[in-house]
Amino acid sequence: MISSSCWVPRGFASEFPEKYELNDEEMERITAMANLELNDAKEGLEEAQEQETEGKKSSQLRDQIELDDDLKEYDLENYDNEDDGTEGENITMFPGLSNSDAKYHQGEEGENDAYLSLPTDVDLQEEKQESQIYPTDNLVLATRTEDDISYLDVYVYDDGAGAPEGSNEEEEDKFDADVAKGLVRDSNLYVHHDIMLPSFPLCVEWINYKPGQTDLAENDSNVGNFAAVGTFDPQIEIWNLDYIDKAFPDLILGEPPQQNSFTALSKKNKKKKKSKNHVTTHHTDAVLSLAHNRTHRNVLASTSADHTVKLWDLNTGTAVRSLNHIHANKTVSSSQWHSQEASILLTGGYDGTCGVTDVRISDESQMTKNYKVANGEEVENVRWGHSPEIFYAGTDNGNIYCFDVRTVDKPLWTLHAHDAGISSLDVNSHVPGMLVTSAMGEKVVKLWKCPTEGNKGPSMVLSRDFGVGNVLTSSFADDIEVAGNLTIGGVSGALKMMDTFSNRSVRNSFRDELKQLQVQARASAKEQGRASRLARKYQNDSHKENVMTVEAGDLDDSDSDGADGAHEMEEDED
């Protein structure tokens, strides 16, 4: 199940992501966390024994403690130090080699034939190339759940290199190493690495800011490559995407400051019951949406089933503001910052309204304008349109509303897009009027062309079942070179990616917009000293429709050969 997804623009990911190594200090912290949980379980058992007469709860807690005790005999802390057969074991007896990749081998004749081995330069170079992310690659983030275990999958999308079919090669194409050798590289999608999550994920947001920047040196950069994940738990986890095999997030939003991210482990860390009062320091229920402010990059907004909108300072990891009256103390389902007005936040709630909030205003009763949908409907998704004064809202009845912020009393138009609640709604930031929708109880994704002027309603361009079951997420790419690419995920199957302009109907409906997009893409690439592939694509109507997919999960060493090996790639044609 793919529950949410988003794109990472080119150039932000580290070219060579590092493998996370657990040092002694981090191991002590993890051990302290485990002991704290064990102590809490023991205390809970004692309280249950005093309060429960039936003994059911105490039996469950006792079984958990016995299980923890049973695990001690396996010495999991030293698991990696065990003999690994022909692969050799880590070196611990020689100073200077204990933290290296040197291996100790027993040989065929036992200890008399023992030897040490070091990775060759070829081995190191191959391992480095396997994890390399090029500046021209995009990342796609998708949250996946299988067998009650959830992950954040980090995909790499390579749009290819060289002259597209039917076009001529340009001199700037040769800046790519493959093209310089006379090769043409096709587009490619593969899973780079994944991160295990603590609970079922509901939303994911990319963050281009390094959290915790309190004392930033003059020459240091605060630009980062992080992901924020909201789940059924009230906490928000912030993960560094430039590390592989990391076990714990870099920051956890949603706990009191003294308990955040391994700090003050001696204090109690029990789960709190959901409070009916307005809690300003953290969420008390599931986190339904996240929105990172691209202008004030240390600000993250979150909305929750606890009826609040919270603004977080990523430097301190604390909620600097909590708003609970924007949606009449009802669940707040969706949010997005305005792309030009950095202080304007758009939200949607179960009170049947969309809120346009200026967070600079201190008086909560004066900071929001509410735009109402039809009676009895709840807003599930909101998105700003291509024009700065336009926004869209999707409801639980399958309707799409288009509002102009200057007109509060009624929408510009209403569209019954689906027969079930809207599960995803996204606007193409580079193609005026291109809108995609999906519904919770339907298997199709619909692409619409919305008018940019006047009150005329939208027209459907494409309706497609991508074989992912009921659709839960769809997302357009942010970069102009891949502006037509769309990711789709649902309750079954793998993540799908479609180049929407590879479809003839889409090209015909957005003919003028595509031409303008190609002109802009060529100019943008020229500024960077590169050739634009988008400007040379779709030269004739015989262009093949391109839909890609790659299976995630079960990642191991055999899967590390990029998109080859265990990952399956598909391309559908008209």
Q: What is the pLDDT of residues 52-98, one digit of tens each?
A: 655 555 566 666 666 666 656 556 556 555 554 455 555 555 555 55
Q: What is the dihedral of CA 427, 428, 432, 433, to 10 degrees?
A: -40
Q: Give residue-wise pLDDT tens across range 395-407.
A: 999 999 999 999 9
Q: How far is residue 132 from each of residues 13, 482, 551, measured CA to CA in Å?
A: 10, 20, 20
Q: Tokens 């926004």 — which residue? A: 391
Residue with tokens 């790499």: 156
Stretch 514-525: mean pLDDT, rounded?
94
Supply the DSSP string of 16-56, one letter for each residue: SPEEP---HHHHHHHHHHHHHHHHHHHHHHHHHHHH-SS-H
> pLDDT tens across 366-383, in order?
999 999 999 999 999 999
- Residue 439's Cβ-side half-sphere holds a number of Cα atoms within 13 Å equal to 19
Measured between alpha carbons, how far is 282 from 279 in angstroms, rounded to an integer? Answer: 6
For the cut 60, the answer to whether the pLDDT of residue 99 exceeds it is no
Residue among 534, 523, 377, 390 at smallest CA distance from 453: 390
Mean pLDDT of 120-144: 82
Altogether, the residues listed in the chain come to a count of 574
Q: Which of 173-187, 264-278, 358-372, 420-434 has the lowest mean pLDDT?
A: 264-278
pLDDT tens-digit readout, 191-240: 999 999 989 999 999 999 999 877 655 556 789 999 999 999 999 999 99
Q: How far apart are CA 434 and CA 476, in angstroms?
A: 10
More confident residue, 154 or 169: 154
pLDDT tens per residue across span 298-337: 999 999 999 999 999 999 999 999 999 999 999 999 999 9
Encoded amino acid at 391, one letter: F
The pTM is what? 0.80
CA dist 46 and 65 (Å) reads 12
pLDDT digits (tens, 9 = 90+) for 282-291: 999 999 999 9
Average pLDDT, the chain: 83
Is 41 a residue whose pLDDT tops 90?
no
Give the pLDDT band (50/70/90) at residue 15: confident
pLDDT for the residue 54: 58
Query: What beta strand segments (E) does 200-272 contain?
Result: 201-207, 226-231, 236-240, 243-244, 251-253
Distance of CA 323 to the CA centre of its chain: 25
